[in-house]
Structures are given as structure tokens and as C-alpha cells.
Structure 1
Amino acid sequence: MKKNKPKYKQIIDAAVEVIAENGYHSSQVSKIAKKAGVADGTIYLYFKNKEDILVSLFQEKMGQFIERIQEETTSRQSAEEKLLKLIETHFEQLAADHHLAIVTQLELRQSNSELRQQINEVLKGYLNVIDEIVQEGVEEGLFRDNLDRRLVRQMIFGTMDETVTNWVMKEQRYNIVDQAKEVHSLFIHGLAHSKN
């Protein structure tokens, strides 16, 4: 398994930095190799091409992302708490790695349809976590039960995603984690049972 090879993580981390600083299209494999401190040829022992590096980078980082979000949310009792923890963790993880935030919010968007399909595959795991929280919220009576689950999932992920993109575009000049409670409040009230 290539992931267990010692230089795999080194190359992935170098790719995040190089792509964030130069943009995907201007990031030659040789630049990534130089940043990782490996020979150009070494990269091809792990990856087929630059596109494969981008997809692998996303798989690797999103895998860690989902793991952390699952850990953080399963330790919370209610769907309301889980949803807040999901938003906070999403924002915290990207705030902690500015290069990764640039890559996920900007560079991954410029890719071709085949690449986007592979990225969507990786995202499924994350969307499942959101689905589970929404389902719990419905069971607890926190959310109304006639919700279009697919739409709710898109709304939750899309809102967090756009909030982070906006923060990246503003050159991360404010603390995005401070916005988690406001975003959470919008979801909770928007999905709740109508009071009348």
C-alpha cells in the first residue's frame, strides 16, 4: 500500500504547499519533488501524474478530516451538539492549515469532470456524517420530519463550504471559527419545527 511508504506523506504535504502557493496549473511535479526533498522520479513511484497527486492529497486530507469529525461528534450527546461540533471542527481544521484551505476551496474547483467525480466519491463519507446527524435530529424531534434530506445535506455542507471559501478569498483576515455558532443557529432554526 503506497500510503504506508515513508515518502508518501512528505510528498502530499509538499504538494499542498506548492499548489497553494503557485496554483494547480503552475505546480510542476518537479516543484513538488523539490519541496518534498525527493527526486522527480520518486514521485512517480507513488503517483501516476499531477492529477493523481491532487486526488490523493484530497483523499488523504479528507480522510483525516472525516476521522476527526467522527471522533468529535460521536462524543456529543444530542444532534444539536453534534451539528455545532461538526461546524466548529470543519472551520478549525481549515483555519489550522491555510495552505490546505486554499487548495480545497480554490484549486480543487478548477479541475476537470473526471477529477471532480473522484473528489465527490471522497466527499461521500463526509456527507454520510451529516446525514446521520440530520437523522438523529429528526428522531429527537429537533428537526421536522418532512425535510428533503438531500437538500438539507447540500445546504449544510454548501453553507460551511461557502463560508470557508469567503474567508479564503478575504485572505483569512478574521477568525472563521467565531462564525460557527452563527452558522449553527441558522441551521437549527431553519430546520426546526414551525412554532405556529
Structure 2
Amino acid sequence: MTSKKTEKYDLILQGALKVFAENGYHRSQVSKIAKAAGVADGTIYLYFKRKEDILIHLFQEKLGELVNKFHESVAETNDACEALRMICTIHYTELENNPELAYVTQIEMRQSELELRKEIGITLKPYIELIENIVQQGIDNGQFRANLNVKLVRNLIFGSMDEVVTSWLLSGQKYSLRDQVNETLQFFIHGVSK
């Protein structure tokens, strides 16, 4: 994409994030997204065929950025416990710093149709695989118990962080999400350590 096209694409995704967070996905019209993005209604359709595509691309872009941050941070350590701390810290910090993204990823995704959730789930796969690799690394280097069910543990770790963020949103963000990292990590490490 040319820089002007990229700029409009980014504006549309930012507008969509704001509109989806404020109104919910199902109550968000393309015209509201266009207005929030500062583009004409028809411009949206130059980039996306339907509203569902906007949500899918939003997840691809935002979660892709997060996954890149996760990979960059854990590349610096061979310590599985430290890698989990980095993942948890980034997960909580990024979503606390962007409550609109947290709302859309935590609440709106769950209310989408099954097919849409499946498409969005593909975007989550690299994140889930990264957690799985960290768990396996912890087993391989003797930090974690050898008899762990790696796929189950990775789902429990991801699901725990996911639930912490959802609870934070539903509470009205009355406390710091980042402040939950140490207790979350203690829970993980206690569950997987020898």
C-alpha cells in the first residue's frame, strides 16, 4: 500500500476500534466508523468488503503487534519463568494502556458469530503457540514438571490472563491491571514448578 492508502487504512481501523468499544460490534454502523476515521462512507469499502472484515483486520493488526512485542521480549531469555513474566507484563500493560482494545478483544469477540470467532482465533494462534513453546522450554530446561500436559497448561495460562483482563474491564477498571502481574505469575509458577 502507498503511504496515503496505509494512512487511511490505519485511520479506519482506529475509528473502528473506538466505535466498536463505544457501541459494541453489532450496534456499530459503517457510517459511524467512517465518521470516527474522518473518511467518507464509501472509502471504507475501498479497503473492506464488509464490517466483519474490519473487525478481523483490527484483530490481525493489533494482536499481530502484541505478538511481535512478546516474541521480541522473550527472545532475550532462556528462563521460562522470566519469559512468562514478560508475556504477562506486556499483556496486562498493553491492554491497560488501551482500554478500547481490551474491550473489543475481551467482550466483543465473545459476542461475535462462530465463523467470525474462528477467523479471529487464527490471529491468536501465534500467541498461543508462543506460550506453548515457553512451557515446553520450561520442561526441557528442568524448571517445570516433566509430566505437564503442555497444550492444557498453555490454555490455562492464556485463559487465566484473559479472565483477569475481562474482570478488570467489568469492574470498571477500578484497579491497575499491571499490578496483577506478580500474583498471576505466582499462580502460574506454583502450578507448573517441580
Q: TM-score, normalised by structure 1?
A: 0.95
1:24-51 C-alpha deviation (Å, 9 max, x unpaired) = 1111000000010000010001111111
Aligned residue runs from structure 1 range 33-112, under 5 A:
33-112=34-113
* 1:31 aligned residue: 32
> Aligned partner of 1:125: which letter?
P
* Deviation (angstroms), 1:131: 1.1
* 1:5 aligned residue: 6
CA distance in 1, matches of 2:75, 2:172: 32
CA distance in 1, matches of 2:169, 2:77: 29
CA distance in 2, matches of 1:147, 1:45: 48
Counterpart contact for 1:2–1:46, Cα < 8 Å: no
CA distance in 2, matches of 1:114, 1:2: 31
Change beyond 3 A, Cα 1:92–1:55: same
- In structure 1, list runs of 5 or more residues that go unmatched: none
**Does 2:20 match 1:19?**
yes
> Aligned partner of 2:82: which letter?
E
CA distance in 1, matches of 2:161, 2:69: 16
* 1:119 aligned residue: 120
* Deviation (angstroms), 1:2: 8.8
CA distance in 2, matches of 1:124, 1:145: 24
> Aligned partner of 1:84: which letter?
R
- In structure 2, list runs of 5 or more residues that go unmatched: none
> Aligned partner of 2:125: which letter?
K
> Aligned partner of 2:173: which letter?
Q
State, as a whole percentage, how many aligned pairs show the same letter: 50
* Deviation (angstroms), 1:77: 3.7
* Deviation (angstroms), 1:76: 2.7
RMSD after superposition = 1.4
* Deviation (angstroms), 1:5: 2.6
Counterpart contact for 1:2–1:8, Cα < 8 Å: no
Change beyond 3 A, Cα 1:2–1:43: farther
> Aligned partner of 2:87: which letter?
L
* 1:139 aligned residue: 140
Question: Number of aligned pairs?
Answer: 193
Runs of 4+ deviating beyond 2 Å: 1-6
CA distance in 2, matches of 1:14, 1:2: 20
CA distance in 1, matches of 2:149, 2:168: 29
